[in-house]
Amino acid sequence: MIKKAVLPAGFTANGVNCGLKKSGKPDLAVFYSAAQAKAAGMFTTNKIASPAVALCKSYLKSGKGFHAIIANSGNANCFTGKQGLADAVKVTAEAGKILKIAKSAVFPASTGIIGKRLDTAKITRALPGLISGASATGIEKAKRAIMTTDKFPKEFTAKFDIGGKTVTICGVAKGAGMISPKMATMLVFIFTDAVISQKALGKALAGAVERSFNRMTVDGCMSTNDTVILLANGCSGNKLITEKDNFKPFSSALDMICLELAKLMAKDGEGASKLIEIRVKGARNDIQAKSAALAIANSNLFKTAVYGENPNFGRVVQAVGASGVEVKEEKLKIKLGPLDKKEVWVDVDLGLGKGGCVVYTSDLTPEYIKINAAYN
């Protein structure tokens, strides 16, 4: 595992400022594979979603080869109606024209302020330079161009062998606030040069998301734009990965990438000063364990107590009791780790079965209120 973004063979990237952000910081990114790639994606379950999400789903259903992602920050292009969809299509069409590929081979992604129309003129003017400037090292610019309230970029790379060939998986992400399970506002882009079947790709991503982003929360608020896209261009030349052959090393590496990115999001939660790991065991099943863990993770009483380094285990008791899972007072055991650390843990044993789950969150601080009171 490498704690930085190293693009796999055949991928290039770039990031620029096109004027969407008044700060002048980078706000437009491209990720590109000259070789045709397979794709898998997972998205927010929010009933009000960005047209970019709808368009990604539509393109995925087309089943055609994919090549690129165009992502902007500073504007979510959400709650913008039919015009928002037309704007997202315009961006992918213009990028496709420059790259000489179909617009459906380009995934759009947006993050930022909800309810404002996307300024496509600024984006389309910047696209030629953005695309022509893409390179293998351009990931350094691209990973910053997708950030909003993030304090730092989230990135990890894994390299492993399959049949004597080195396979690389690289993931970059943004996310700090408006983060809740069922797609914890986040964008995650993952690239691999693996030769892999479509079914294996989808299965690996679904499992990795469930074991990482769906077990992480910052504030319990579900974004309208959450997007995870995985592109596989096959440039490593490894023996084909299927659901039955060579699947474990690939899925294990993808799991690690997604979990590390999820933990970085929780650590970078808006105003956060502590990363909290909540470990629940002894539930009737894993589903109940996850419900109990998330109830604790989303408890403002608990999160403020951790910020204040107050070992008030009663905050954990009330959260578990209110979670709706089966619990018996005489069986419940709670242990809090030292609260004066940057990384804090909580162990909860329900004493009723073999179900277990680990969830990650952050503390709730006055800075969170300041950031979100001023965000528009």
Q: How far is CA 142 from CA 87, 122, 134, 173, 302, in A?
A: 21, 17, 9, 10, 36
Relative to beta strand 11-16, strand 28-43 is antiparallel
CA angle 154, 159, 163 (to 5 degrees): 155
CB-CB contact of 124 with 90 (8 Å): yes
Residue among 25, 189, 210, 46 at smallest CA distance from 108 = 189
The residues near 118 (Cβ < 8 Å, ≥ 6 apart) are: 72, 75, 77, 80, 84, 87, 88, 91, 110
Look at phi and psi of residue 82 and say left if phi exceeds 0, alpha if psi is from -120 to 50, else beta: alpha
73 bridge partner residues: 111
Look at the alpha carbons of 188, 251, 45, 220 in this order and tell me if their dihedral is positive or negative.
negative
Relative to beta strand 28-43, strand 165-174 is unpaired
Residue among 77, 62, 66, 67 at smallest CA distance from 28 = 77
Q: Residue 350 and residue 327: Cα distance in Å, rounded?
A: 6
Dihedral pair phi/psi, residue 304, rounded to 5°: -75, -30
Q: Residue 299 and residue 260: Cα distance in Å, rounded?
A: 23
Catalytic residue among 168, 185, 217, 227: 185
Our answer to whether residue 120 is catalytic in this structure is no
Longest Cα separation, the chain:
67
Q: Residue 235 and residue 7: Cα distance in Å, rounded?
A: 12
Q: Residue 322 and residue 319: Cα distance in Å, rounded?
A: 5
75-88 CB burial, b ≥16 within 10 A, e <16: bbbbebeeebbebb
Active site residues: 185
